[in-house]
Amino acid sequence: MLKKSSDKKKKKKQKKEEVTIDSKQPIYIINNIASRADDKDEIRTINCYGDIGERMASEIIHAMLYFNHTREEIVEKEDGSAEQNIRPFKMYISTHGDVVSDMFSILDVMDMVKRDCEIETIGIGKVMSAGVLLLASGTKGSRKIGKNCRVMLHSVISGHHGSFPNIENEMKETKELQDMYFDYLCSCTKLTRTKIKKLLLNNVDAYLSAEDAIKYGIADEYL
């Protein structure tokens, strides 16, 4: 669900969790960053799994900035010389969406990071509402989707209350956010405003298959 705003939630203390993934070496999970103790074997992956709110946006942005900062890698060739590689990172997405402003904060940082580092986005399970833009905003050619993933588009949802002037003002802001959402979607997919209008006929949520998502340019290929 793509919502205009959300109430502040109590911040829980973030824990450092040690897990093992088919390896003798432990992997440490802090927020959404997964990395091995030895940076050479770093797993450059971000998990966007759940509702997109302030906490998730903060964790994802933190992870992206970290991966961008550590993107350079020196690789030795067989002849003894060395070359510099730019390491990409992956973002797995499975979400119902949620707060539009938090989504845009993630997108702004994604656009900045993509100038220096490739971002591979991967849609799995469900990619809905705000999550659709996250999937579509990956580096073109590196946006993948699971064959069983379901994609959903809909209009921005907002609850208006208060005095009539305030309600009018809130409605204008909601319309502005919706225009931003659709304009951004059109800029990174094959969708146009006309196609979106047809998909959302009578303001009914539009559900798409993985095949449809590829057809409309939301993703490039199957996972």
Domain-wise residue ranges, the chain = 45-72+82-222
Q: How far is CA 155 from the centre of its chain?
A: 18
- Judge whether residue 123 has pLDDT over 70: yes
CB atoms within 10 A of CB 118: 17
- pLDDT band of 183, cuts 50, 70, 90: very high
- pLDDT band of 167, cuts 50, 70, 90: confident
As a whole number of angstroms, the distance between CA 99 and CA 217 comes to 23
From the options 1.10.10.10, 3.40.50.150, 3.90.226.10, 3.40.190.10, give the CATH code of 45-72+82-222. 3.90.226.10
Instruction: Tell me what the mean pLDDT of segment 79-90 comes to.
Output: 87
- Judge whether residue 26 has pLDDT over 60: no
As a whole number of angstroms, the distance between CA 219 and CA 213 comes to 6
| Chain mean pLDDT for the chain | 83
Residue 77: its pLDDT value, please? 80
Question: Which among 166, 147, 156, 142 is positioned nearest to 212, based on CA atoms?
Answer: 147
Instruction: Tell me what the mean pLDDT of segment 175-202 comes to.
Output: 92
As a whole number of angstroms, the distance between CA 20 and CA 16 comes to 13
Residue for token digits 């109590």? 10
Tell whether pTM > 0.85.
no
As a whole number of angstroms, the distance between CA 165 and CA 171 comes to 10
Instruction: Tell me what the mean pLDDT of segment 142-146 comes to.
Output: 98
Out of 142-146, 158-162, 202-206, the most confident range is: 142-146
Helix (H, G, I), strand (E, B) or coil at 176: helix
Phi-psi region of 150 (alpha: psi -120 to 50; beta: other; left: phi over 0): beta
- Judge whether residue 9 has pLDDT over 70: no
